[in-house]
Structure 1
């Protein structure tokens, strides 16, 4: 082919190639948008971490994982979970968990859940005792106190002291913190509550001056006095009669 014909034909080929490429590119469908994230699930978060098998078993046994997920997705207050590791459960005295009733196991898991979102910064200003899902914060029940020392967060139950070791998950709605000790509540693991002080009973004995009724002691004393007076009167009367009789003899 003469060079002048090649010169005029090359731009035509280039235009055809570009047109074909553009048409192919435009005809491809657009990539779908990313799927929205699913609802927060405490079980999946703990499973992903891989060292909470005992806590997960307790969650499933007590059915509290479903309750937590429901509250998370239907409440604006959020939630905070203190998650003891398997090593923390292994450090308990042998038989500690087996000695608990089903209701006590529920309360133990609830004691690790705070019904509000707490960031690490909020630990500095939290009000003690902190209310948990277990409820009652009075002494010898379920008090939970949090203090800080620099960046360290300490938790006290009155039975054990624990430290927040790591942040497992936090999204502004749910916060999950690793703790190195199982949080043992006072109600189940603490000393028994002291018995209420008893008021001594008042003496039911009343004197004669109190109610005008003679007591047995008063009655005995009066009877003795009356008997003594009667004997004395008869003795004196006898002496007087004997003396008068002397004058008639």
Structure 2
């Protein structure tokens, strides 16, 4: 009986091996050992594009990286605007796997990117074109007509049909890539988002100036919609003192840039504009799948929509008021402990090199592969890897 339990545990561990490697994919850690991409890696972190890449663990991706010289040009072209640089880095994050062998086998084609996936792009402007060039060369360009091709100069890392990091010679750009929405009128943004009551309170209390002064250095604003003020049990803001109302409004803002995808990875409490040094009036994030909520002294509030993501400012809509503990008449909430599966890893597992003996033996239907390449690669590659390890483990036990 004891031997059966040991064998069962070994089998379970084998089956979980592919899943562990998927969870460990971390783009900034992968690039951390390359000095030539230090500037690129820096902006991946500052714009939080790294979180968007890491969140797509089940998606086959190709990350187009730039050396420090090429990245400096991109930063200059973007006018040093973080929001514009974020657009460019999203365009360089391709939602499919590519390497030299695949391109030589299938030729030129169009591929979607994170920029297209955000909904900011118009038509196919957020796509890139993969181009087969003379000899062994290949490159990437904007899908707009006449765009200049940036040649792949180095295959930095490749994990066959799962994930690749390719160095390209120059940034991929197109007219309009660096255009970003204006944030000059925060009150109007709130009103257009259906948060008129919140906008009126922010303006009348003077907290609007506090928000505006923080926007350039990093601000995440959680705006409750108009229905939140009418919900059962909602605070009666009309009868609140001026000091309490200011505390309530400051409690709806973080002095850092946290788009929704980045909130999912947060461990522990987050400081708000109302927080004290002792941690009073912090909020905690509760994430489950794609759902993100904020735990406060007055319960939980769901992050419903992204109204504006304009690095380093992010405006998110919530479906109920965020109420600090002293206004809710409840003790300060304890930060939820992360589950074992959510515990951060000290370092990601090293990606395995591409199989040089096979280009696409398990991908006969190329078009169908593009729609489900991540699932197929893990089902096939992960199964064979687990089976190989399992056979060794079982042989040693039996």
- Shorter-chain TM-score tier: 0.5 to 0.7
Aligned equivalents of 1:99, 1:157: Cα separation in 2: 21
Say whether 1:114 aligns with 2:254.
yes
Does the CA-based 8 Å contact 2:304-2:318 persist in structure 1?
yes
More helix by share: 1
Aligned equivalents of 1:155, 1:192: Cα separation in 2: 16
Instruction: List, as ranges, runs of 4+ consecutive aligned residues in structure 1 with deviation greater than 4 Å.
Output: 35-39
Residues 167 and 188 (structure 1 numbering): CA distance in 2 closer, same or farther, change over 3 Å? Answer: same
The residue that corresponds to 2:295 in the other structure is 156
The residue that corresponds to 1:41 in the other structure is 185
Does the CA-based 8 Å contact 1:152-1:164 persist in structure 2?
yes
Aligned equivalents of 2:210, 2:234: Cα separation in 1: 29
Q: TM-score, normalised by structure 1?
A: 0.56
Residues 137 and 157 (structure 1 numbering): CA distance in 2 closer, same or farther, change over 3 Å? Answer: farther
From 209, 215, 240, the equivalent of 1:66 is 209
Q: Where does the alignment leave 5 or more consecutive residues of structure 2 unmatched?
A: 1-178, 333-398
Q: CA deviation at 1:137?
A: 7.3
Between 1 and 2, higher relative CO (CA 8 Å, sep ≥ 6) is seen in 2
Q: TM-score, normalised by structure 2?
A: 0.36
Aligned equivalents of 2:235, 2:266: Cα separation in 1: 34
- Larger Cα-atom Rg: 1
More strand by share: 2
Matched positions, count: 154
Aligned equivalents of 2:184, 2:243: Cα separation in 1: 26
From 172, 175, 181, the equivalent of 2:311 is 172
The residue that corresponds to 2:199 in the other structure is 56
Does the CA-based 8 Å contact 2:250-2:273 persist in structure 1?
yes
Does the CA-based 8 Å contact 2:297-2:331 persist in structure 1?
no
From 242, 245, 256, the equivalent of 1:105 is 245
